[in-house]
Structure 1
Amino acid sequence: MSETIALPQTCGVVGGGRMGAGIAHAMLLAGSGVTVLERDADAAVGASERVERAVHASVRRGVLDDAASVLARFSCTTSVDDLAPAGLVVEAVPEDVALKTDTLTRIEGVVAGDAVIATNTSSISLDVLGAALDDPKRLVGLHFFNPVPASKLIEVVYADATDDALTERAAGWVRAMGKTPVVVRNAPGFASSRLGVAIGLEAIRMVEDGVASAADIDAAMELGYGYPMGPLKLTDIVGIDVRLGISRYLEQEIGPRFAPPQLMVDMVERGDLGRKSGRGFYEWDD
């Protein structure tokens, strides 16, 4: 599966947070028109601002020549009906089974019969999510990584019901976005989340046990193992609450080795969620 395949002319993204805005940005850079669906007007304004900042940053980096022509292909809406023309819609809502299944069924209710529906879930079973759809063979996983512009990887996840040709087409779309696809069979945590969370949880236990500081643990992995970013800084960027949710899901599906450390639970309870809250294992000022 080495072919690059152009994205559909019109794409949709449900959820315009940091991840959803990054997905929209990647699709815009690949040449598609993109509509982002948000829950209300205030959220739509925030999503629009995130996408616009990302596009302008691409101009400053020399990736794009002109922001205006790219942003002319972008819109943000609060009406799911505006996703109707999309040939591909990616949901990027929080990691909650009920929320994701509701989102996917809403998408299916408005898009054409040959449109592809994708989930950005980092851990939830596609079999579970697909069971809510009338046509589960058009559901595929496109697991983007945060921050999307800097990441070179997208996991393409296929379930038992996923059409084989769709898996190949999705891998081609990943290449069209300038990224590398890794094709993974549907399993709890897939490949990246299962390994990444396991390392992250052990790093948090090391902080909890006083083995070393967060900065020194990260430095050990960056300098000793060649990690581009240490596991604790990455946890801050992903969101400690997001990783807590994944940890609890994997604990349920795989076993107690994925049980979250108490330090992680305590941090989420007091609102120390990482970069998005300004404090996690590090202080953040962006």
Structure 2
Amino acid sequence: MKRLLAVLAAAAMVGGSLYLRYGDDGDEESGRADGGGEGPPQLVCDPLFEEVCDGADAEVTIEDAAATVDRLLGGDRVPDAWLAPGPWPAIVDALGTPGVPSRFDEVAPLARSGLVAVGRADLEGCGWRCFGSRVGDDDLELGWTGPATGLGLVTVGAVSSGFFRGEPFATNDLSGEFIGYLSRFADQARQARAPVQDVIVTNGSAFDVAVSPEAEAEPLVEARRGTRVGLLYPEPVVTVEAVLAGRDTDLTDSLRADLLDRGWERPSEDPTGLPSAGVLAALLGRVR
């Protein structure tokens, strides 16, 4: 399938990259306006899951999770399905009108993977608070995909949980020393489209460390054995969930199977280690 860059007004507003899948004859495949009827389902995917969505039997849009949130809050209709890291669908509801039912008919956790860092062995033992503080002090170069991406907000949640040493915290705790810590991290961390690949290919010269789900990072590290970078497991433990939300989740089984084949684990009731959707929404407002 050919993919053409689609220029949308909403994308200009949020600065997110957006792509549409087209048919081989160059004509856009007809999407379903009401979650049913003729044509393939419409599937919106955060860039973290681009390779998974490439194989889906759907009309696929790849865009940063924050761009999807902005469009939905701006009145765009809910897509048939939206694949993003777990916090994001809940953030749409958290930022919406209080008391209004969820925009999504169904939210299905598909898989999960631990959040890891890829960097030099001498960084072993440096937890999320350590990374956040050292980045803010300009003592460590951390590569990330930026706050507007699905993985970026998970990273913000991880360094925030690290600041509070894994203890629960609420929006009224986002003040004082923490605000300075978070602002310095967001200002100093370096954005890149594929920071983990950059760290591995350059043997740690592009960045000191980058953040990724373990399922995505492990095969990249294994393929480049002999480099001085490897997997690191910062504490507190944080987990990334792949969640499918929308009006039509007929794609659930195939997308889950693809994620499991890529090394993701089956979903569970275990906590992710991230703050609540409301707190993450507040953090997003601080770092964007």
Q: Kindly indicate whether structure 1 or structure 2 has the higher relative contact order, using CA contacts under 8 Å at least 6 residues apart.
A: 2
TM normalised by structure 2 equals 0.31
Q: Which has the higher helix share?
A: 1
Q: Which has the higher strand share?
A: 2
TM normalised by structure 1 equals 0.31
